[in-house]
Structure 1
Amino acid sequence: MILCIDAGNTRLKWGLWDAAAGGGHDGARWRAQGVCAHADCVALASALPAGVDRMLACNVAGPEVATRIEALAANLDVPLTWFRSSAACCGVTNAYDDPSRLGADRWAALIGARGFHRGAALVVMMGTATTIDVLDASGRFRGGLILPGLELMRRSLARNTAGLPEARGRYRELPTNTDDAIESGCLAATLGAIERMAKAACRPTSADFCVLLSGGGADALAPHLDLPVRRIDNLVLEGLARVAAGC
């Protein structure tokens, strides 16, 4: 089995992928999945079932977390491969000015998205940051946006203004209280970015267009998005699994 690691800005997600089992990229080959704090990464070694043969890791959390992932591999006594962005992988091509500068998590998510949907798509990852990436029907990543995630927007308003709270309101088209105004503003900003990118780059009127939505903020956003949506958990892990299994 292959231990896939997605070390994001806030936490670490992991999954055990059985490349020898039957099934496709619909979760049938995942033997286990979980989430932990970065500081608890090394302790995973004692919690995982036997049979891990190797590790494939994507890390955007910095060198300290990389050291912990390397220690985990040492404790498991398995080889570790670092997943990095490239010019092409698993039928996806990278149109970034410098393909190596694309975040490895965004690249993995694009590869995962291609395994689920073969038409034109927006790949939207809603974590600490929100990324909105254009993947055309040929599998070419054409570019994308990065903006603060919903929680980061809320905290920024509370931290940098004198009179605004760290709101926990709800979405309304015409908010009439401050908490709802903040929550609705954060969601509307994200929705507007998604809809603008879809209109400009993906022709959402085409029959094969879809928004592939993943990440912790996806559930808050999805009900308000007026585009075809497919909600997929752990899209970065899905991309790593495709790479680990040879696509």
Structure 2
Amino acid sequence: MILCIDSGNTRLKWGLRDGDAWLATGAVTHAQAATLALPQSPIRIVACNVAGAAGSAAIEALARRHGLAAEWVRSQAAQCGVVNRYDNPDQLGADRWAALVGARALQAGACIVVMCGTATTVDVLDGAGIFQGGLILPGLDMMRAALADSTADLPTARGDYRELPRNTFDAIASGAIQATLGAVERMAAPLGPDVSCLISGGAAALLAPRLVTPHRVVDNLVLEGVARIAAAL
């Protein structure tokens, strides 16, 4: 029984993995992580953390409660059938690496891996499992906040998506979504018509219905990658 953890900027997702199956999954705040109540005790804890020292401290406290040492996912030059072509492979975010490993396990052909959280990442994984590079964008909420923080007359607001917005709130919401969709579709275009997109994260439900590129939403893609990496360690 392996406890897989995806500790992101906003919250911590977890899943209990037994072989190829998830027995339970959930999400908590970082403050709740150290006292997380699990339905069964794990024999290993494998974690991907991009929440800094506070995130790692909470995970380590949880591991100590179970008498275990946390094992950490870190980007590699190659792992689990994925080759990392970042200029400095260890500088790739651990969450992006885990998502790429998860995507490779779920998708044999070329794909675009989109993670929509506090930031949005758009990564290109070719048919041979080679990570060719990718983009980092502000997440949808961050785009809205940037407009509100940097301009006098544009408020922080949650408008609705419209093809042709006719009020400021909808224009802000639609602009953030259209900008993100455009980034995904421009990254996908050079890979040809057979490319697909795997999209995960809190904003996936806003983006996926409007994405032209063939796609599917995958819940907990980072956790899927963590589980695959854990099995290989």
Question: TM-score, with normalisation over the residues of structure 1?
Answer: 0.92
Q: Please give the secondary structure, in 2, of the residue aligned with 1:13.
A: strand
Q: Distance in 2 between matches of 1:184 and 1:171?
A: 5
Q: Distance in 1 between matches of 2:173 and 2:87?
A: 35
Deviations 1:97-128, CA, capped at 9 Å, x for gaps: 01000000000000000111010100000000
Residue 159 of structure 1 deviates from its aligned partner by 2.0
Q: Which amino acid aligns with 2:11?
A: R
Partner of 1:242: 228
Deviations 1:210-233, CA, capped at 9 Å, x for gaps: 100000000001111111011100
Partner of 2:34: 42
Residue 89 of structure 1 deviates from its aligned partner by 0.7
Partner of 1:94: 84
Partner of 1:216: 202
Q: Which amino acid aligns with 2:29?
A: A
Q: Distance in 1 between matches of 2:52 and 2:59?
A: 11
Matches within 5 A, 1:113-152: 113-152=103-142
Aligned residues: CA RMSD: 1.1
Partner of 2:59: 69
Pair 1:111 & 2:101 matched: yes
Partner of 2:12: 12
Q: Please give the secondary structure, in 1, of the residue aligned with 2:197.
A: strand
Residue 242 of structure 1 deviates from its aligned partner by 1.0
Long gaps (5+) in structure 2: none
Q: Distance in 2 between matches of 1:71 and 1:155?
A: 33
Q: Distance in 1 between matches of 2:122 and 2:51?
A: 20
Long gaps (5+) in structure 1: none
Residue 141 of structure 1 deviates from its aligned partner by 0.2
| Equivalent residues of 2:60, 2:69 under 8 A apart | no
Give the total of aligned pairs.
233
Residue 184 of structure 1 deviates from its aligned partner by 0.8
Q: Work out which of the residue numbers 202, 218, 228 in structure 2 matches 1:232.
A: 218
47-56 or 186-195: bigger deviation: 47-56
Residue 198 of structure 1 deviates from its aligned partner by 0.9
Question: TM-score, with normalisation over the residues of structure 2?
Answer: 0.97
Q: Which amino acid aligns with 2:9?
A: N
Partner of 1:175: 165
Residue 195 of structure 1 deviates from its aligned partner by 0.9
Q: Distance in 1 between matches of 2:212 and 2:157?
A: 25
Q: Please give the secondary structure, in 1, of the residue aligned with 2:152.
A: coil
Q: Work out which of the residue numbers 185, 192, 201 in structure 1 matches 2:182.
A: 192
Q: Distance in 1 between matches of 2:184 and 2:114?
A: 8
Q: Tell me the percent identity.
A: 60
Residue 83 of structure 1 deviates from its aligned partner by 0.6
Q: Distance in 2 between matches of 1:50 and 1:213?
A: 30
Q: Distance in 2 between matches of 1:157 and 1:32?
A: 39
Deviations 1:21-78, CA, capped at 9 Å, x for gaps: xxx4xxxx1011111111111011xx11233101000101101221111111001112
Q: Please give the secondary structure, in 2, of the residue aligned with 1:245.
A: helix
| Equivalent residues of 2:41, 2:66 under 8 A apart | no
Q: Please give the secondary structure, in 2, of the residue aligned with 1:17.
A: strand
Residue 246 of structure 1 deviates from its aligned partner by 2.9
Q: Distance in 2 between matches of 1:72 and 1:54?
A: 12
